[in-house]
Structure 1
Amino acid sequence: MLLLTLVTLTVVGITFYTVQRNHIDDRINQQLQIAMEEFSAEAVEAYDSGRFDNLSDLMQDVLSHRVPEDSEGMVGYVGTRPAWTQPGGLDMVADEELMEVLGERVTALRGATEGETRTVETSTSTYRYSLMPVTLGNMGEGAYAVAYDYNAETAQLTETFRIYVIAALICLAVLFGASWLISGELLRPIRELRETASRISETDLDARLEVESNDDLADMANTFNLMLDRIQDAFDSQLKLLDDAGHELRTPITIVRGHLELMDVSDPEDVSAVRSLALDELDRMHRLADDLVLLAKAERPDFVTKHPVDAGPFIDRIFELVQPISQKHR
């Protein structure tokens, strides 16, 4: 159960984290696309207004009206030089590694008609950015870059997942303690069954389980006690049989021994009488031994075998056997 719970919590946690991470990725990509489209529309509108005669002033005016998110930053390039940035939000210029990468990409995209969206890692953080070349009439070339601090965007998710892991570990610890106590109580009858079985020997079959409930384990304990009762009855029956057989065997032995000790070896008649008596007692012992063997064989499954019988002679024979008895009791 602990293993199943651990697997379940792990799968749920990983699924939750993956879904939320993908949701953040989709939101950032969507926001970058919207930012590019809005800038393009505003830049074209400002250019068509005729109020600007150079790209630097136009870029300053457009960026001054933009309000970024806390983890969002914007930079306007004139040529390959970062000329303007938005007020507030992410300070992209402060990360020199990021600006170096963006400068290289601005140079690589000069004269291009389409921008790009990429992820870049620096020693400070991880960024997801979109870069769009800008060419407006005779104002020259430039570029517009928007970046999101990916680590800042996922910080809350990471903290939430860390709290989830701690809570899951606490739940597992509580579950382990509770399951240890509950399983110990549930398995107590089985432990008592093992201990009782270990105390049973050939000379002591009196041990029994105490039944204190009405559940399945109590039924098992009752069944075990009934099994012990049957075994004890079988042992008692065997001991009684052995006692009776021993008594029956000692009687003819005692008789024969007594007559042999008192026999007059010089008297032929006495010797003949003792001999006849000894043979009779030995025959009785032989019949008793045969009965014991027959009783032992009676426990075998092949003791009674079925075979066809001619009913006529069988009934006639039974009639002959019972006829003297019926005449005797008339």
Structure 2
Amino acid sequence: MTENLERQGSAVSARWRIVGWIVLTTALALLAVTVTMRSVMSGQVAEAANVGVVQEIEEFRTFAAEGLDPRTARPFTSMEALMERYLARQQPLAGEAIVGVAGGRVLAAQGLADGSGDILAGDAALVDRILRDARTAGVYESAHGTVRWGKAEAVAAGEPATIAPERRAHLLVAQFTGAAQEEANRQAVLLFGVAVGGLALTAGIAWLVARQIMRPIRTVRETAESITAHDLSARIPVQGRDDLARLAETLNAMLDRIEGSHLAQRHFIAEAREHLNEPQRLLAAALRDLVDGDMPGADRARIACGAQQLIARMGQTLADLDVLAQSGNPGFVKPARVPVSEVTADVAAEASTPGAHPGRHFRIEETGRAEAWLDAARIADAVRQLVDNAVAHTSPGDTIGIGSSVADGAASFWVANPGPPLDPERARALLESYRSTEGTDPGMGLGLAVVKAVAEAHRGIAWVESGDGAQTRFGLTVPLDALVPARGADDAFADRIATTLGEES
């Protein structure tokens, strides 16, 4: 099945397919134009021949009806004289034959040097065929090519209409269209040659354009080939503002997400290893000590208490890792409108509970006076992480500050602990998720990663401030209304009803 799927599709490159379709469609269009033009020119040749025949026949009929014999100044009584007089006045064009038949004689008007009149006059069989034809016009294929002909007859003045045919005069007008058709064919061949040249030029341009179009796609393929499981940093160069540029931007954004997910996975594993290896080692050592039967009861109780703390620490680590794993899920936060001061007071009260953090003192530095759409439980967990981080990096007797504020449409929560200021680069590194365990003290990386995850889930940021003062503040800032749920039609209807009832009351 897999082999069959691999063999499906065209083996021809996209560049050749683009050029092939362009050349094919252009060739069909040019062929249609050439055939159409040849047909039009052939039609024009036939139309011109027909017009010439009709015009000569009409002129002869007019002359036969109105013409006068110059010798008598009266209508012609001799058909030979009439025909001679008429033919003497004609100047046939190329391919045109004007022949008169009267009194058993065949006379031809002398025109251009192609001798079409003499050809028709000398072909007795063709003349006889035309005279015997019951039609007044027609088309023959003869030894001289295609002939379009017309004929008219005249009788002398005073002769009855029933006069015998041999006493009548006949004018034969023929158009030999072979030469004109050959010229039309030569023009069609010339047009076809120009079309072939244009097709070759189109193919060349299509080849260059296809190469230009396929270059970004080739770059995408080369970039994809350069990406490995250990290096996801390659990106597609973005040039221009067309569809391919937007495609490159989209693929780069996708690669950013893939790299972010990959790094997050590596970070997740590193955090788990960093925070579980040491407690696991200490717990194993404690268990080895507990199996020693000669250990005094007081030492056994102390080791058991330490083992319980290690287990609790590992449980907290697993809980934090679970928070990080869920932080990308859509339902990670469940916002509700809550007072900022309430969240601050709850965390401060919990931290100040006797026995929670022995030897540390807590005070509320500031309280924000506003309501915000946020997940109070998640925000409280993040601030607890900051409290635990501050406890781990202070000494007994130190005072840790907890506070919140509201400014510029955002709520900020922070924890301040005394101590020397941090180096700006190190302070920045603490909040970079994938550097949180590199070169930092134990316990800092995972807690701050949780804080950052909670802040970003609220469309906010995590931050650290450490300046010339005697304290460092870690916190997070979230918008007040970024997570306002969309109001449904029922809510809007209820508001309108409430407003209406309020106005009526």
For normalisation by structure 2, the TM-score amounts to 0.54
Q: Which residue is equivalent to 2:147?
A: 127
Q: Which runs of 5+ in 2 are unaligned?
A: 1-21, 353-361, 365-398, 402-505
Q: CA deviation at 1:290?
A: 1.9
- Match status 1:87 vs 2:110: yes
Q: CA deviation at 1:64?
A: 3.8
Task: Give, in whole Å, the separation in 1 of the partners of 2:333 and 2:169.
Answer: 110
Q: For the structure 1 residues 58 and 297, does the alpha-carbon distance in structure 2 shift closer, same or farther, using more than 3 Å as the test?
A: same
Q: Which residue is equivalent to 1:75?
A: 99
User: What value does the CA root-mean-square deviation take over the aligned residues?
Assistant: 3.5
Q: Which residue is equivalent to 1:304?
A: 333
- Match status 1:149 vs 2:176: yes
Q: Which runs of 5+ in 1 are unaligned?
A: 110-115
* Correspondence list, 1:8-157, <5 A: 8-10=29-31, 12-14=33-35, 16-44=37-65, 45-46=67-68, 49=73, 54-78=78-102, 83-88=106-111, 89-90=115-116, 91-93=119-121, 98-105=126-133, 108=134, 116-122=136-142, 124-137=144-157, 138=159, 140-157=167-184
Sequence identity of aligned pairs in percent? 25
Query: Which letter maps to 1:326?
Result: R
Out of 345, 348, 355, the position equivalent to 1:322 is: 348
Task: Give, in whole Å, the separation in 2 of the partners of 1:156 and 1:171.
Answer: 22
Task: Give, in whole Å, the separation in 2 of the partners of 1:233 and 1:242.
Answer: 14
Q: CA deviation at 1:123?
A: 5.2
Provide the aligned length of Structure 1 versus Structure 2.
317
Residue range with higher mean Cα deviation, 294-303 or 275-284: 275-284
Q: Which residue is equivalent to 1:241?
A: 268
Q: For the structure 1 residues 152 and 96, does the alpha-carbon distance in structure 2 shift closer, same or farther, using more than 3 Å as the test?
A: farther
Q: Which residue is equivalent to 2:502?
A: none
Out of 294, 302, 323, the position equivalent to 1:294 is: 323
| Cα pair 1:92 1:99 within 8 Å, conserved | yes
- Match status 1:193 vs 2:220: yes
Q: CA deviation at 1:130?
A: 1.1
Residue range with higher mean Cα deviation, 139-148 or 315-324: 315-324
Q: For the structure 1 residues 96 and 220, does the alpha-carbon distance in structure 2 shift closer, same or farther, using more than 3 Å as the test?
A: farther
Task: From the two aligned structures, give the one with the greater helix fraction.
Answer: 1
- CA deviations 1:188-243 (Å, max 9, x no partner) are 122111221133232222434456x5564567556655654554344334323311
Q: For the structure 1 residues 316 and 38, does the alpha-carbon distance in structure 2 shift closer, same or farther, using more than 3 Å as the test?
A: closer
- Match status 1:184 vs 2:211: yes
- CA deviations 1:240-282 (Å, max 9, x no partner) are 3311211211111111112223434424735554444333322
For normalisation by structure 1, the TM-score amounts to 0.79
Q: For the structure 1 residues 127 and 317, does the alpha-carbon distance in structure 2 shift closer, same or farther, using more than 3 Å as the test?
A: closer
| Cα pair 1:56 1:83 within 8 Å, conserved | no
Q: For the structure 1 residues 279 and 136, does the alpha-carbon distance in structure 2 shift closer, same or farther, using more than 3 Å as the test?
A: farther
Out of 179, 192, 208, the position equivalent to 1:165 is: 192
Q: CA deviation at 1:160?
A: 1.0
| Cα pair 2:290 2:303 within 8 Å, conserved | yes
Q: CA deviation at 1:70?
A: 1.7
Give the 3-state SS of the residue equivalent to 2:229 in structure 1. coil
Task: From the two aligned structures, give the one with the greater strand fraction.
Answer: 2
